Chains A and B, each alone.
Chain A
Amino acid sequence: MLSVTSSPEGKLKAPRSRMTDTNLLTAITIVVFIAMYLYAYFVLQEGFVKPQTMLNLISTNAYLIILACGMSLVMITGGIDISVGGVTALVSMSCAVYLDMHGGNVYVAMLLAVGIGLAFGIVQGFLVAYLKIQPFIVTLAGMFFARGLITIIHTNPFNVENKDFVELKDTRITLPDFLGSTTRRGRFIPATIEIGVVVALAIVVILFVVLKWTKLGRNFYAVGGNRQSALMLGINTQRTTFISHVICSLLAGIGGFVYFMHVGSGSPSHATGAEMNAIASAIIGGTMLTGGVGNIIGTLFGVLSLSLIQSIVSSVGLDQAWWTGITIAAMLCIFLVVQSIIIARRKKANMKAANVKVPKPKEAAS
């Protein structure tokens, strides 16, 4: 091994290392979520005392967790994908038409969902990574394409009555007894979740592992942190970007099927604004649109916070339809401002660290 420690410094004192940006932002989100939950539990009480309320919230938003995971991934890599809502709706409409009007098989429908996701991912990923077109434009077109395609497939909303599918849709997973609740008459109701929740949590775990412990995962962070540097370090930035888009769209396909399992119908107006909710969740969870910073656990809590605040707002009496939009926006606003202030302060601290006295050699070229 090379060594130059013949220098007299001896044991070197390294500066204290601080929390990384990613962890700090995630920690804030988790704290906020817990605070909100405690508030709901102890102050509002009502349904919030029952674990089932929270579980229902998670069941309803399982698809959003999946979409937000994919979104976080592209955002970490420094891109964005606004086609996920469109893909979700396209998947549910295609599966609905296939199952209902062509008497299809549920498993083939699943493959269909994955296939649609992959197709979008490959095309969009190619355009963004290899032809270097701005991801915003590419995925915007993707969204338009998906939304338009839905009405070409079928115009009107309808419920799916395929027997196998309805069975799958109504399947509930029963959780351990302590989460259940007792009605006033003393009847015990076990706590249940939908299948989608399991899928969503599995994806969270897988993605967490990928991002943390695989080289591919770290490449996503590197490319998002500084694309040029990542290239110079020998990372195939094009392939990394491509993969991030493929995974994101693939997750949109899976999320679409989970959504479809939850609503059980096809409609052109399904999942409108889902892309924006996914982006908002990712941001609340501490992912930064500038890339390189983000964490899947944070994203999970981002989705949970977003859905929790909506139900809190409606249970404190602000049940007019417009309050939902306004609260989400207010929450997003607060988070963004707080994030921006924290990041600015840390940057200043970093600048100070970077500017420590560096004497310069005096030799000159002339």
Chain B
Amino acid sequence: MPSKNKAVPPKTPLWARITKHQIIIPIAALLALALFNLIADPSFFRIELKENSAGNMILSGNLISIIDSGSELAILALGMTLVTAASGGQDISVGAAIAISGSVMLRVLCGNNSHPTSLQAPIIVALLVACLVSMAFGAFNGALVAFFKIQPMVATLILFTAGRSIAAWINNNELPIVSDETFSYFGNNIPGIPIPTPFLIAIVCFIVTWLFMKFTNISLYVQSVGVNEKTSRLNGLNPEFIKLMTYVLLGLCVAIAAFIKVSRISTINYSVVAKDIEMDAILAVALGGNALSGGKFSMSASVLGAYVIQFLTTTLYKFEVKATALPAYKAVVVIALVVLSAPTVREKLSQLSKKFRKKAPAAKAA
């Protein structure tokens, strides 16, 4: 057999490696958005240190608002990426699950009275209970997907339909309000720290995720299960368990996102809280260049994707687009991005540029 082994593949330059990597998609989108804002109004990027109503010095500006309000989405994107990779489908119940998780939190904090003057339980207890409940619902979704082999979107349709109703049920259709200053720190600012707390929480989540991926085999296992379940099983993995686990982990992300959401306004409106966030979370994964049909994934690209979506939202607000009309503009941008990154389109474009390059010297010669 002729041996044509290349001993060492030639080192590809960093630039080429980045452009080939899927992370180029969210980076390009981010740059395009930034450039657009830079041309339209450079003051978009101004960051100021201001005093807020409580008398604390905080940073403010569009960029700060992006990293602040993008936190929940970015945290959800972490879990959604794993779910997508392992099960080749998406969880569309995260918004509803946030409503449930937030309601549980408030129920624990407020007890039976919907407007208590003091907290009825420590915040950490409420958070833990909410995490457990949320992970249990994640396990429910995961079990349907893993053991009953129902397509993820359909399986999570159940909780999507029931979630907000369950949330209403938990608090007897009332809207409890927490009046505790410490609780509101988590959704706003801790006195003395000018950076919004949600962003700090998100950073902690990223670091934990990064450590988790570095010190465990989660990434290899999840990708392997996502690409070929049968092979994974024959190599000693338990695909059902791994799928279940990704849904439970997403449940954990949901609880943390719900914690931030509830803390921001100290109450919850279960019918509108985190509305459409499932769509944004899925878009974040897609924008990160991850195949929605599962398999290989890049976590950092998903997170970047989440901030791109938030960047877009904030940019649109800046141009005084109504909140309700926002989806229309988002849709146009998303389609433009997806079309440009579609393999068929890219192929056509590269063919075109090749033709163009071929023609150019020919023209010169003539």
* A and B, direct touch (CB closer than 8 Å): yes
Q: B339: which A residues are within 8 A, CB to CB?
A: 127, 131, 133
Residue interface bits B310-340, CB-to-A below 8 A is 1, else 0: 0000000000001011111111101100110
**A344 and B342 contact, CB distance less than 8 A:** no
Bound complex: CA A268 to CA B322 (Å): 13
A168 located at the interface, meaning its Cβ lies under 8 Å from any Cβ of chain B in the complex = no
Stretch in contact with the other chain, from B106-114, B143-151, B197-205: B143-151
Residue interface bits A281-296, CB-to-B below 8 A is 1, else 0: 0010000011000000
Contact of A141 among B325, B331, B342 (CB under 8 A): B331
Query: Closest CB of chain A to B172's CB: distance in Å?
Result: 9
- Known: A137-B334, A329-B159; 7 extra A-B contacts, CB below 8 A, are A127-B335, A131-B342, A133-B342, A136-B282, A137-B283, A276-B157, A329-B165
Bound complex: CA A338 to CA B30 (Å): 45
**A344 and B149 contact, CB distance less than 8 A:** yes
Q: A333: which B residues are within 8 A, CB to CB?
A: 144, 158
**B164 and A325 contact, CB distance less than 8 A:** yes
Given A131-B342, A134-B292, the answer on whether A148 and B158 have CB atoms closer than 8 Å is: no
**A residues bordering B, Cβ < 8 Å?**
80, 127, 130-134, 136-138, 140-149, 151-152, 155, 268, 273, 276, 279-280, 283, 289-290, 320-326, 328-330, 332-333, 336-337, 339-341, 343-344
8 pairs, A vs B, C-beta closer than 8 Å: A130-B344, A132-B343, A145-B332, A151-B322, A289-B154, A320-B173, A325-B163, A336-B150
**A332 and B157 contact, CB distance less than 8 A:** yes
**A322 and B338 contact, CB distance less than 8 A:** no
Given A141-B335, A325-B164, A336-B148, the answer on whether A279 and B154 have CB atoms closer than 8 Å is: yes
Residue interface bits B277-294, CB-to-A below 8 A is 1, else 0: 001001100100000110
Give the residue name and chain of the B residue nearest to A151 (CB).
B324
Contact of A329 among B161, B325, B326 (CB under 8 A): B161
**A325 and B324 contact, CB distance less than 8 A:** no
Query: Closest CB of chain B to A130's CB: distance in Å?
Result: 8
Given A137-B283, A320-B173, the answer on whether A144 and B161 have CB atoms closer than 8 Å is: no
B166 located at the interface, meaning its Cβ lies under 8 Å from any Cβ of chain A in the complex = yes
Q: B169: which A residues are within 8 A, CB to CB?
A: 320, 322, 326
SS of A interface (majority):
helix
**B338 and A137 contact, CB distance less than 8 A:** yes
**B154 and A336 contact, CB distance less than 8 A:** yes
Within 8 A of A (CB), among B153-211: 153-155, 157-166, 168-169, 173
Give the residue name and chain of the B residue nearest to A336 (CB).
B150
Q: A127: which B residues are within 8 A, CB to CB?
A: 335, 338-339
**B162 and A330 contact, CB distance less than 8 A:** yes
**B residues bordering A, Cβ < 8 Å?**
90, 144, 148-151, 153-155, 157-166, 168-169, 173, 279, 282-283, 286, 292-293, 322, 324-332, 334-335, 338-339, 342-345
Contact of B344 among A131, A136, A268, A326 (CB under 8 A): A131
Bound complex: CA A302 to CA B163 (Å): 22
**A140 and B162 contact, CB distance less than 8 A:** no
**A280 and B157 contact, CB distance less than 8 A:** yes
**B162 and A148 contact, CB distance less than 8 A:** no
Bound complex: CA A131 to CA B322 (Å): 31
Query: Closest CB of chain B to A11's CB: distance in Å?
Result: 40
**A290 and B327 contact, CB distance less than 8 A:** no
Q: Which of A323, A329, A341 is the most central at the interface, judged by chain B CB atoms within 10 Å of its CB?
A: A329
**B286 and A134 contact, CB distance less than 8 A:** yes
Bound complex: CA A213 to CA B322 (Å): 48
Bound complex: CA A341 to CA B342 (Å): 37
**B158 and A336 contact, CB distance less than 8 A:** yes
**A152 and B328 contact, CB distance less than 8 A:** yes
Top 8 nearest A-B pairs by Cβ distance? A148-B328, A325-B165, A329-B162, A322-B165, A144-B327, A145-B331, A144-B331, A148-B327
Bound complex: CA A113 to CA B329 (Å): 22
Bound complex: CA A155 to CA B150 (Å): 39
Given A276-B160, A336-B154, the answer on whether A322 and B173 have CB atoms closer than 8 Å is: yes
**B159 and A144 contact, CB distance less than 8 A:** no
Q: A323: which B residues are within 8 A, CB to CB?
A: 165
Q: Which of A130, A143, A147 is the most central at the interface, judged by chain B CB atoms within 10 Å of its CB?
A: A147
Query: Closest CB of chain B to A331's CB: distance in Å?
Result: 9
Contact of B168 among A137, A145, A322 (CB under 8 A): A322
Bound complex: CA A111 to CA B264 (Å): 46
Given A132-B343, A336-B155, the answer on whether A322 and B335 have CB atoms closer than 8 Å is: no
Contact of B162 among A138, A283, A321, A325 (CB under 8 A): A325
Bound complex: CA A344 to CA B162 (Å): 26
Query: Closest CB of chain A to B104's CB: distance in Å?
Result: 15
Given A144-B327, A279-B157, the answer on whether A289 and B151 have CB atoms closer than 8 Å is: yes
Contact of B161 among A146, A328, A340 (CB under 8 A): A328
Bound complex: CA A320 to CA B325 (Å): 32
Give the residue name and chain of the A residue nearest to B276 (CB).
A144
Q: B328: which A residues are within 8 A, CB to CB?
A: 144-149, 152
Give the residue name and chain of the B residue nearest to A130 (CB).
B344
**B153 and A332 contact, CB distance less than 8 A:** no
Q: A141: which B residues are within 8 A, CB to CB?
A: 330-332, 334-335, 338
Bound complex: CA A301 to CA B153 (Å): 22
**B283 and A140 contact, CB distance less than 8 A:** yes
Query: Closest CB of chain B to A290's CB: distance in Å?
Result: 7
